């Protein structure tokens, strides 16, 4: 059962407010989870309750992804070269999360439906907990959530490679524990460059993400 939000704005201490704003600027909030984590995780974070109070705008930049090697839900290799020539949108979740991750998947699924008329734009979900989330788990998650794996890749690697992709590639901050992953969507262009990040839950961000995708498909500048 989701918690009932109070009508008044939650009170945040003078110290906590800037720390929360800094965390959200990176798109990092905590999740709780259903099963014990594969790493030490403090699942007592209540930051989700304050997400609606502190929003960060879409962040536009241009940064080439480093080389990486993951595997998808079918056990096939997934590398930087796999989607060269295509626009794609990525998110970062873990499958046993019962915090924002299910909502992120639903947001991505809704986005995927809107992308179909635009052409071959792909979705990519990166598990931030590869110690728990196996290839078989990714496959089952895709089936259970009705994901079109012809256009949606669920990928995993080891913890070191995952951390490198998130921090050095997506620029979403250091992943010190699975529960501290980003909740932003990451836009990657046809040349394998990260171009922007967006709040998955903000309708205005969704509109700007779709607009950015259309521009990339037409080779138009973003911003």
pLDDT at 57: 82
97-110 average pLDDT score: 93
**16-217 placed in CATH 3.40.50.300:** no
Q: Most distant CA pair in the chain: distance in Å?
A: 49
pLDDT at 25: 41
Give the separation between CA 143 and CA 74, rounded to whole angstroms. Answer: 12
Q: Is the pLDDT of residue 74 over 80?
A: yes
**Nearest CA-CA partner of 139 in 151, 128, 147:** 147
71-99 average pLDDT score: 96
**Residue indicated by tokens 């498909």:** 217
Output the six-digit token pair for 154: 């669920």
pLDDT at 99: 84
Give the separation between CA 26 and CA 45, rounded to whole angstroms. Answer: 16
DSSP string, 49-81: GGGGG-----EEEEEEPPP-EEEETTS-EEETT
pLDDT at 31: 54
CA of 138: how far to CAs of 40, 64, 74, 142, in Å? 22, 26, 8, 6
Percent above pLDDT 90 for the chain:
64
Q: Angle between the 203-217 and 101-115 helix axes, to the nearest 10 degrees?
A: 40
pLDDT at 34: 47
Give the separation between CA 61 and CA 44, rounded to whole angstroms. Answer: 33
Query: Cα 202 from chain centroid?
Result: 14
Q: Is the pLDDT of residue 101 over 90?
A: yes
Q: What is the DSSP letter of 123?
A: E
Instruction: List, for residues 9-62, the tens digit of each pLDDT value.
Output: 333 334 334 333 444 344 444 454 444 444 433 333 333 433 332 467 888 989
Higher pLDDT, 204 or 50: 204
Query: Cα 198 from chain centroid?
Result: 9
pLDDT at 50: 31
DSSP, collapsed to helix, strand or coil, labels residue 154 as: strand
pLDDT at 191: 97
Instruction: List, for residues 123-172, the tens digit of each pLDDT value.
Output: 999 999 999 999 999 999 999 999 999 999 999 999 999 999 999 999 98
Burial code (b: 16+ CB inside 10 Å, e: under 16) for 23-61 equals bbebbbbbbbbeeebbeebebebebbebbeeeebebbee
pLDDT at 185: 97
**Helical ranges in 101-134 per DSSP H:** 101-115
**Nearest CA-CA partner of 123 in 188, 28, 194, 195:** 188
Domains of the chain: which residue ranges?
A: 16-217
């Amino acid at each position: 059962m989701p918690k009932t939000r109070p009508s008044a704005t939650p009170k945040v201490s003078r110290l906590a407010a800037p720390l929360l704003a800094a965390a959200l600027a990176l798109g990092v909030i905590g999740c709780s989870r259903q099963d014990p984590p594969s790493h030490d995780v403090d699942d007592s974070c209540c930051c989700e309750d304050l997400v609606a109070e502190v929003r960060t705008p879409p962040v536009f930049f241009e940064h080439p992804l480093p080389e990486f090697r993951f595997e998808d839900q079918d056990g096939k290799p997934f590398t930087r070269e796999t989607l060269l020539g295509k626009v794609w949108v990525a998110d970062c979740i873990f499958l046993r999360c019962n915090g924002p991750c299910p909502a992120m998947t639903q947001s991505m699924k809704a986005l995927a439906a809107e992308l179909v008329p635009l052409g071959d734009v792909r979705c990519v979900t990166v598990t931030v907990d590869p110690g728990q989330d196996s290839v078989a788990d990714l496959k089952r998650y895709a089936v259970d959530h009705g994901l079109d794996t012809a256009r949606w890749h669920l990928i995993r690697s080891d913890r070191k490679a995952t951390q490198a992709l998130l921090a050095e590639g997506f620029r979403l901050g250091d992943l010190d524990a699975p529960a501290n992953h980003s909740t932003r969507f990451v836009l990657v262009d046809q040349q394998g460059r990260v171009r922007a990040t967006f709040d998955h839950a903000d309708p205005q961000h969704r509109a700007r993400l779709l607009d950015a995708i259309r521009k990339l498909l037409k080779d138009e500048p973003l911003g």
